[in-house]
Amino acid sequence: MTKEKWIQKGLIIQSLPNGMFRVRLDNGFLVLGYVSGKIRRNLIRILPGDKVKIEINRYDSTKGRIISRLDNDNKDSKN
CA atoms within 13 A on the CB side of 2: 5
What confidence score (pLDDT) does residue 71 get? 85
What confidence score (pLDDT) does residue 73 get? 65
Question: Where residue 7 falls among pLDDT bands split at 50, 70, 90?
Answer: very high
| Higher per-residue pLDDT: 2 or 36 | 36
- Tens of pLDDT along 50-74? 999 999 988 899 999 999 999 876 5
Pairing state between β 5-16 and 51-57: antiparallel
DSSP 41: H
Which CA distances in Å does 73 have to 11, 27, 41, 51, 66? Answer: 12, 19, 25, 9, 19
What confidence score (pLDDT) does residue 9 get? 96
Q: Which CATH superfamily, name and number, covers 5-69?
A: Nucleic acid-binding proteins (2.40.50.140)
- Is the pLDDT confidence value at 75 over 60? no
Residue type present at position 12:
I
